[in-house]
Chains A and B, each alone.
Chain A
């Protein structure tokens, strides 16, 4: 029996399920290629993750740095004027609180008394009237080597200076107060912040109730300076307008002031204050005013 078939059927029947064993090395090639692809994907993933982590760290670090530096910068940038000299916050607070501090000590709690008494001790030791050593002198003597540091270490001296201005005794007193607070059952629930707020409130009340006596105060001030060149001109132009020795450099200013306090609101203050700010221009061909 002869059965005729056309060309299409012939090829379809013979080749549709045609099988042939491929060379053995192909499997190795395929497996290694697949493993390579997976490694590549993992590598890409880790690279992306690494870049994202680095960006995150950089962002957080930058943010923290800005947050940490801004208050110091604000305190450090001082503009010296002899008529209204700017006092460093610590000295100013001390000079204003000389009298009420004694009154407060008796009125506050044990914690408050610790803090205030230590503050008054500090004031007494720092006061020019009672002690020969002034805060200004000690600050100035400690700050001199810092001020002469390299310009590239711009923020470092500022930070260290700020730490020196902020007395360490305050920290130790706070710790002592915390220890006292731990022993006192009434204050055990209060946080340090609450206690300080309470103390400030009492100081204010004491100030209001105290007799307003006219008194003389003599003060000395030392303050760090940081020249920041700002203007509508370019940064380099504004920077050139400062003396090369003072541009972008930490410097110190200082002076002595005398204050006559008439009452709570009125006081007359005068003094001499030195500031290292300067200006120069080397471009004489420009249209300067």
Chain B
């Protein structure tokens, strides 16, 4: 954390070089975050730009006792969520919480690249994409997602199940064999 202290001070002072350095340090990772929540790279770029402007304008409020990367990531996610909130309604979808799990072999996994998976996620409907990202990648609970998005836990679970169902089909279509089947709930 100490390594960023001086950099943050310089950024707060308005030093353009410091701002550029901080950007280059975190931009690739944050662009990956934005891509997961966006429908395409253009929207992700918009979110990244808006997110970094917020980061630079609010660096004073960052406390050095936490993770700078985590703080920036949270801002990027909030910007993405805000955009989804504005653009799309979170339709409640109930009673689809049961999901047929599938297991993939290492051979299949090796064939699938991160870019392929990213593309699959971007093709999801926004509400499914959102819940899937928050639950599976960010590790948030349904309660936290429900609070964050002002929806019920049931809606969050349903959206997650739908997202999994769609992704499962797409993986099967694109990459072939599915190894095993287990039923479990979200």
Contacts and interface: CB of A to CB of B under 8 A. Distances in A.
B74 interface: no
Interface stretch (B2-10, B81-89, B110-118, B145-153): B110-118
A19 interface: yes
Given A10-B171, A12-B136, A22-B28, 14 more contacts: A3-B106, A7-B168, A10-B104, A10-B117, A11-B121, A18-B114, A18-B118, A19-B29, A21-B27, A29-B49, A30-B56, A31-B19, A31-B20, A34-B19
Interface string B6-20: 000000001010011
Interface string B35-61: 110000000010011001100110000
Interface residues of A, number: 30
Contact of A20 (B32, B53, B112, B180): B32
Interface in B150-186: 164, 167-168, 171, 179-180, 182
Interface of A: 2-8, 10-12, 14-23, 26-27, 29-31, 33-35, 37-38
Contacts of B52: 26, 30
Contacts of B56: 30, 34
Contacts, number: 109
A-B complex: 6 closest residue pairs judged by Cβ atoms: A4-B103, A18-B32, A19-B28, A22-B31, A14-B114, A34-B56
A12 B167 CA distance: 13
Contacts of B48: 22, 26
Contact of A7 (B28, B31, B104, B118): B104
B99 to A, nearest CB: 9
14 contacts: A5-B104, A6-B102, A11-B121, A15-B32, A15-B36, A16-B137, A18-B118, A19-B31, A22-B27, A26-B48, A27-B24, A30-B23, A30-B49, A30-B56
Overall SS of chain B's interface? helix
Interface residues of B, number: 44
A14 B57 contact: no
Contacts of A30: 19, 23, 49, 52-53, 56
Interface in B69-110: 101-107, 109
Given A5-B104, A7-B171, A15-B114, A20 B23 contact: no
Contacts of A31: 16, 19-20
B180 A17 contact: no
A10 B49 contact: no
